[in-house]
Amino acid sequence: MAAERNIEQAGKMKQSLDSEGRGLQYEENLLWEKKRNDEPAVDLEPLRHIPLRTGQDERGNIGLPQVSEPQVVRHFVRLSTWNYSIDHGFFPLGSCTMKHNPRINEKLARLPGLAHIHPFQPEQTVQGALELMYNLQNYLAELTALPAVCLSPAAGAHGELAGMMTIRRAHEAKGNTQKKIVLIPDSAHGTNPATAVMCGYDVRTISTKETGRLTVAAFKEALTMTDPNGADIAGMMVTNPNTCGLFETEILDIADLLHEAGGYFYCDGANFNALVGKIRPGDFGVDVMHINLHKTFSTPHGGGGPGSGPICVTEELAPYQPVPVVVKIAGGYHLQTQDDQPESLGKMRGFHGQFGMHIRALSYMLSHGSDGLQEVAEGAVLNANYILSQLQDVYHVPYEGPCMHECMITDKLQKGESKEDDVTTLDIAKTLTEYGFHPMTVYFPLVLPGTMLIEPTETESKDSIDRFIGVMRHVADEVKAGNTDQFHEFPLSTPRRRLDEVKAARQPVLRWSEDMAQL
């Protein structure tokens, strides 16, 4: 009996040892699973003779977890260590531009005179902040050759919506009711067709599978498919460089054809870090583009916000873009409202946009200078081409380089004859996590099967890029030698291994219940 009890106790002991963590890596349950109903964390003793005014009695027991302050702090700090970030290591997520956020930006955004102002303050008390926004508008106009800038959109996708609504507004003002179609290449980011549809347009896809680039021939075919003059085309949405990391070499002719048909050229500016300071999108025919301040200009991505996606538009489209825009007037700066700009499509969000991000982006521009911004593009393109040059003999490169700020490969050479020796893009991504790297973007763009999109950015050192290349070549060598089994197992040392991602997406469990704790 005693021996049995000892074993049982040892088992319990081991269980409790395992449940906290190993090697200073902590397992972390939900706060609800930690709660002790018999042990209130913060509770006031009932006061005698004085009625309670905290509402404690009336509220009754709603089952909030009872945990102490140190438990709460540890809970969130531990969870934060599960979150990989650019401050941890290499983050080569293609199309996302995960680059270092210089700390000088943070320092300036925390200056009390900027951090403590309120958007409801009267205009004359925030002239410095308005001047800052005005200067940022002007720098963006200068860099894009698109003279009118609205800073308010809160992310890239929000900028796309603002930009396409500007285009729609312009067509409405001109009475172009027949223009119902937007042309979008198949390599586009998913937000492009989603935006066009939200603006009430039909999307017509242009195939780029053959060369990875838009061709005049394919464009012409799409432009004239239902009307010989493209009279039903409202515009096109194109990323340049595109999401295969390639520069659209025929873009000038394509922009001319689109303009002849009365359409507007929307450029998804998420990949502007490849061009900044080198060429200006307004010079290759762009009418509207959004800029991801949280990509090109190094403001934090922030897990879905606060991003910032200003739009830059031509003189012709300026009256239709959203308000507010900062303008210079006699004696200072002024935020234009709809009254000043009656043709504007109106406000896209509360207040004036992510002001904290405007500070950081301007700080980035000023600390780099014009020569430094050119070096950003040069460094980003050089690093991506270095990776391409070191992987192209062992991975399938579908479209010939040189690439721009990111390079695309596929798993074609690693996919074997049978299921057993089949090493796929997913296996390669999971192997990278095992070796301490965040994976590249996988299965995007959708132009080909098994794509991998690698964007190192200019802020990565040669040392970390070489280690990444080392892992990628190791995978390719092992697969070639027939040692494929291991790649179906990785990752081994992460807190969670391979999740059933399809099930997680199709049957998400969004609510915790007591019975789940028993599982």
Ligand X SMILES: *Cc1c(COP(=O)(O)O)cnc(C)c1O
Interacting residues toward ligand X by CB under 6 A: 95-96, 155-157, 189, 191, 239, 243, 268, 270, 292, 307, 309
Nearer to ligand X, 130 or 276 (CB): 276
**Cβ 154 to ligand X shortest distance, Å:** 8
Nearer to ligand X, 297 or 490 (CB): 297
Nearer to ligand X, 189 or 204 (CB): 189
Residue type at 468 in one-letter notation: F
Distance between CA atoms of 426 and 391, rounded to whole angstroms?
A: 18
Closest by alpha carbon to 307, among 159, 136, 155? 155
Distance between CA atoms of 221 and 97, rounded to whole angstroms?
A: 33
Distance between CA atoms of 506 and 425, rounded to whole angstroms?
A: 22
Render the burial of 105-118: b for 16+ CB within 10 Å, e for the rest: beebbeeeebeeee
**Could you give the C-alpha distances from 59 to 54, 64, 169, in angstroms and in order?**
9, 11, 51
State the Cα torsion 514-16-430-439 to the nearest 10°.
80
Contact (Cβ atoms closer than 8 angstroms) between residue 313 and residue 287? yes
Nearer to ligand X, 95 or 425 (CB): 95
Maximal CA-CA distance, the chain: 93
**Cβ 307 to ligand X shortest distance, Å:** 4
**Cβ 326 to ligand X shortest distance, Å:** 22
Q: Which tokens belong to 102?
A: 């210089």
Residue with tokens 């999971």: 430
Residues 6+ apart with CB under 8 A from 344: 169, 319, 320, 321, 322, 323, 338
Nearer to ligand X, 184 or 476 (CB): 184
Angle (CA) 366-369-370 rounded to 5° is 130
Distance between CA atoms of 425 and 433, rounded to whole angstroms?
A: 13
Q: List the end-to-end C-alpha distance of the chain, in Å, as a whole number.
A: 29
Residue with tokens 């520069």: 247
Phi, psi for residue 184 in degrees, rounded to 5:
-140, 130
Nearer to ligand X, 218 or 274 (CB): 274
Distance between CA atoms of 131 and 144, rounded to whole angstroms?
A: 20
Contact (Cβ atoms closer than 8 angstroms) between residue 159 and residue 153? yes
**Cβ 376 to ligand X shortest distance, Å:** 16
Q: Are strands 326-329 and 332-335 parallel, antiparallel or unpaired?
A: antiparallel
**Cβ 457 to ligand X shortest distance, Å:** 13
Closest by alpha carbon to 252, among 231, 274, 282? 282
Distance between CA atoms of 85 and 163, rounded to whole angstroms?
A: 30
Distance between CA atoms of 457 and 493, rounded to whole angstroms?
A: 27
Distance between CA atoms of 123 and 141, rounded to whole angstroms?
A: 23
Nearer to ligand X, 96 or 183 (CB): 96
The residue at minimum Cβ distance from ligand X is: 156
Residues 6+ apart with CB under 8 A from 490: 427, 430, 431, 433, 434
DSSP string, 227-242: STT-TTEEEEEEESS-
